[in-house]
């Protein structure tokens, strides 16, 4: 019998095992005759950290309930983890007002003072890294080891921007007039509305918020409805770190209220900046909202990452890169490889070795299982999309090498899947799957591969494997993406700029460039000297 994570609102949130009979049940249409049971956990293994669990909104340094609540579910079992404040437009506007009031004082903090506050927040994340990871696994389903990695990645953005806060430099410009001097100042924009996704519920917040706070901005965060506990845990740590009231605010809401809350945040005249990570379709809606008041925007939107393996590649190295790039978080990352383009000379060897690696190294299960490398997809809709892509590909001539159906665990679990004989007219070739599906397209020439890779209206990340130096330079420069991995499947780093081209977004996050997204450039002319 599975032991599910559940929260109770009775003073501090507490957990209790699921009631008998509340485990996984067979689902109509599954390929397996009956779902397997998730392993029962030892007592205490599923317990989440009470000290970091919060269920109210966080506005102006206070925990505030809302008139309604919404459930947060464990994607592996469907068990209710807890109920969280379901904020609406009034609560969003109140959070903006709190952030605006706080901005008037926060912008006056010295760079060193802001740096110290961010550093304390980072230190607390490191001290509580195991508890934060368990929260991520519970609400997003990702394996615990990956969640632990995300917490470190997330914390390092606070560390990085605590250092960058003291490196916001202006300029002195020589003018042709002897009696004049020209200065360039960099000043904080104001209140930033931050809207984040569920697949990295901690790191996508700190990557934005760290830069904003370092620059002197204040923020209102609307976390994804699937994963609000991570944002609220960060708020608890921000409070302990001495982040002043109103500087960091969190307004969780249900999927039903997401549109009105997003609109309220993006149209409020007190908001100067919008930062969003999510789908291209939603990004376009938010851009329309921002246009009316000409707000600054950062958008990290959808991708369709190509993964190209040339004949000159080290096939074993390419397979290792493919495993890292494709199957992290069960394929639910915006930079996951979505299309595998493999040159004819190494195609068969690559497919065979990738299938073997998938069979050997991928283990599907609950994220708290020690051996799990592939957790559930976030919800039923996500599973249905993977099924749709597989079904479409098979109907058009693709072949299943391994996987291809829902996993025997049922619910939101799907088998890691490898398809061969894939063509460009299949959905998986031109739609982002966001799941554990690796479709392989065979090609003949470098020009053909680059043309296929660029034949899309998005361009976030791209990967290719080659040992030909001239080819490496050519392809790296010709790929129409914002980030390129050459003989490398994992490219994200706090020190490097993250972002895309075409309809994959606007602006860059992380790195020394990330803080510029929250700064205004002001020119000052001194005359009469």
In this predicted structure, the answer to whether residue 3 has a pLDDT above a threshold of 80 is no
**What is the CA angle 46-51-57, rounded to 5?**
105
Please state the φ and ψ torsions of residue 340, each to the nearest 5 degrees: -100, 115
306: alpha, beta or left? (left if phi > 0; alpha if psi -120 to 50): beta
Place of tokens 């789908």: 279
- Residue 411, pLDDT score: 85
Contacts of 469 (CB under 8 A, 6+ apart): none
Which two tokens mark 395? 């109907």
Span 198-221, pLDDT tens digits: 999 999 999 999 999 999 999 999
Would the pLDDT of 5 be above 90?
no
Query: Domains in the chain, start-ordered, CATH in brackets?
Result: 57-301+508-521 (3.40.605.10), 306-493 (3.40.309.10)
Query: By CB neighbour count within 10 A (0-12 exposed, 13-18 middle, 19+ buried), where does 43 fall?
Result: exposed
Q: What is the pLDDT of residues 25-46, one digit of tens each?
A: 333 333 333 445 544 333 333 4
**What's the whole-number mean pLDDT along residues 514-522?**
98
- 6 pLDDT band, cuts 50/70/90, is very low
Catalytic annotation, residues:
300
Q: Structure pTM?
A: 0.90
Angle, vertex CA 474, rays to CA 468 and CA 476, nearest 5: 95
Render pLDDT for 73-105 as a digit per residue (tens, 0 to 9). 999 999 999 999 999 999 999 999 999 999 999
d(CA 132, CA 453) in angstroms, rounded, equals: 37
What residues pair up with 486 in beta bridges, in sequence order? 464
Closest listed residue to residue 515, CA positions, set 106, 108, 109, 160: 160
Q: Which of 26-40, 149-163, 362-376 has the lowest mean pLDDT?
A: 26-40
Closest CA to 509 of 249, 129, 161, 114: 161
Alpha-carbon distances of 344 from 4, 117, 280, 309, 386, rounded to whole Å: 47, 55, 33, 10, 27
The single-letter DSSP state of residue 40 is P
DSSP string, 203-252: HHHHHHHHHHHHHT-EEEEE--TT-HHHHHHHHHHHHHHTPPTTTEEE--
Indicate if the pLDDT at residue 300 is higher than 80: yes
Cβ burial, residue 80 (10 Å; 0-12/13-18/19+): middle
Q: Is the pLDDT of residue 10 over 70?
A: no
In the chain the first and final C-alpha atoms are separated, in Å, by 82
pLDDT-based confidence at 47, cuts 50/70/90? low
- Contact call for residues 46 and 15 (beta carbons, < 8 A): yes
Helix (H, G, I), strand (E, B) or coil at 440: strand
Which residues, including other chains, have CB under 8 Å from residue 266's CB and lie 6 or more apart? 193, 274, 286, 289, 290, 295
Judge whether residue 312 has pLDDT over 70: yes
How far from the centroid of its chain's Cα atoms is residue 124's Cα?
22
């Amino acid at each position: 019998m599975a032991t599910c994570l559940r929260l109770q609102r009775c003073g501090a949130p507490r957990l209790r095992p699921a009631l008998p009979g509340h485990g996984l049940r067979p689902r109509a249409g599954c390929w397996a005759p009956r779902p397997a049971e998730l392993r029962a956990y030892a007592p205490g293994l599923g317990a989440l950290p009470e000290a970091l669990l919060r269920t109210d909104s966080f506005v102006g340094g206070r925990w505030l309930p809302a008139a309604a609540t919404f459930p947060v579910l464990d994607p592996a079992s469907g068990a209710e983890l807890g109920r969280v404040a379901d904020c609406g437009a009034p609560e969003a506007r109140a959070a903006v007002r709190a952030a605006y009031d706080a901005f008037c004082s926060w912008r006056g903090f010295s760079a060193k003072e802001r740096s110290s506050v961010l550093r304390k927040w980072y230190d607390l994340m490191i001290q509580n890294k195991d508890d934060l990871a368990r929260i991520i696994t519970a609400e997003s389903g990702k394996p615990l080891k990956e969640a632990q990695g995300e917490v470190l990645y997330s914390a390092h953005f606070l560390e990085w921007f605590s250092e960058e806060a003291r490196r916001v430099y202006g300029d002195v410009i020589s003018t042709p007039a002897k009696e004049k001097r020209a200065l360039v100042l960099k000043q904080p924009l104001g209140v930033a509305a931050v809207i984040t996704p569920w697949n990295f519920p901690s790191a996508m917040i700190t990557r934005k918020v760290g830069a904003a706070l370092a620059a002197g901005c204040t923020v209102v965060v609307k976390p994804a409805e699937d994963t609000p506990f991570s944002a609220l845990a960060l708020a608890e740590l921000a409070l302990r770190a001495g982040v002043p009231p109103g500087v960091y605010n969190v307004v969780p809401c249900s999927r039903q209220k997401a549109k009105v809350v997003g609109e309220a945040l993006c149209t409020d005249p007190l908001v100067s900046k919008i930062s969003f990570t999510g789908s291209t379709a939603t990004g376009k809606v938010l851009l329309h909202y921002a246009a009316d008041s000409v707000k600054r925007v950062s958008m990290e939107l959808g991708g369709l990452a190509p993964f190209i393996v040339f004949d000159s590649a080290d096939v074993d190295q390419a397979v290792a890169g493919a495993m890292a790039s494709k199957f992290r978080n069960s394929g639910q990352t915006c930079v996951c490889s979505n299309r595998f383009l493999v040159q004819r000379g190494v195609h068969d060897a690559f497919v065979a070795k990738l299938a073997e690696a998938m069979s050997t190294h991928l283990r599907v299960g609950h994220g708290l299982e020690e051996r799990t490398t592939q957790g559930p997809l976030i919800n039923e809709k996500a599973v249905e999309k993977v099924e749709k892509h597989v079904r479409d590909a098979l109907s058009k001539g693709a072949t299943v090498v391994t996987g291809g159906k829902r996993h025997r665990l049922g619910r939101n679990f799907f088998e890691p899947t490898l398809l061969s004989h894939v063509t460009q007219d299949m959905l998986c070739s031109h739609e982002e799957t966001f799941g554990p599906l690796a479709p392989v397209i065979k090609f003949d020439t470098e020009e053909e591969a680059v043309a296929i890779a660029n034949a899309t209206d998005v361009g976030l990340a791209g990967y290719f494997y080659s040992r030909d130096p001239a080819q490496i330079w050519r392809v790296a420069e010709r790929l129409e993406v914002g980030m390129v991995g050459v003989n490398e499947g994992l490219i994200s780093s706090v020190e490097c700029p993250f972002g895309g081209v075409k309809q994959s977004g606007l602006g860059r996050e992380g790195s020394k460039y990330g803080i510029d997204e929250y700064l205004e450039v002001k020119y000052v002319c001194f005359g009469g000297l």
